[in-house]
Amino acid sequence: MKLSSGRVPDEPEINLVSLIDVVFCIIIFLVVTTTFDQRSALKLVLPTSQANSPVDTGEPLVVVVDADGRLFVGTNEVLKRDVGSLKDAIVQIAGTDRSRPVVVRADARTPYQSVITVMDALGQVGFTKISMATTPEASP
């Protein structure tokens, strides 16, 4: 004979409050430590221009030249500053796609020879869609 006390048996439950707190802390940590912009790595002062920017046609290959003449293809630094080393780095990053647009981000204080070296290497590799990154001219 089974006697009932009239109470409904307790259902087991999982407390999600502590789990939500942990996930929230992880999300905040990732947002704070993630770098959203590649430009934050190098301090560049781009030259100014009055021309309008071209229409974005896809993900460009970015070649950066800093004020000291150091070269970066994508996020990788090219250790030697000669055309051969730069061509090798461009081919390694770009692969076989020569129709991809290329953006050259050169500091306004960059030695002119460094920019010409980049343009020469891109031309020898076979890129034809090359643009120079500038900032808009400040209005008076």
Give 42-63 pLDDT, tens digit per residue: 666 767 666 666 555 678 888 9
Tell me, what CATH number does 125's domain have? 3.30.420.270
Helix axes 112-125, 83-94, angle to 10 degrees: 50
Alpha carbons 30 and 74: distance in angstroms, whole number? 23
- Residue 20 counted as domain residue: no
Range of the domain at 90: 38-136
Q: How many separate domains does the chain show? A: 1
- Residue 52 counted as domain residue: yes
Is the torsion defined by CA of 67, 70, 76, 81 positive or negative? Answer: positive
Residues 117-137: tens digit of each pLDDT: 899 999 899 988 888 887 777
Here the tokens at position 26 are: 């992880």
- Residue 66 counted as domain residue: yes
Residue 75 confidence (pLDDT) above 60: yes
- Residue 7 counted as domain residue: no
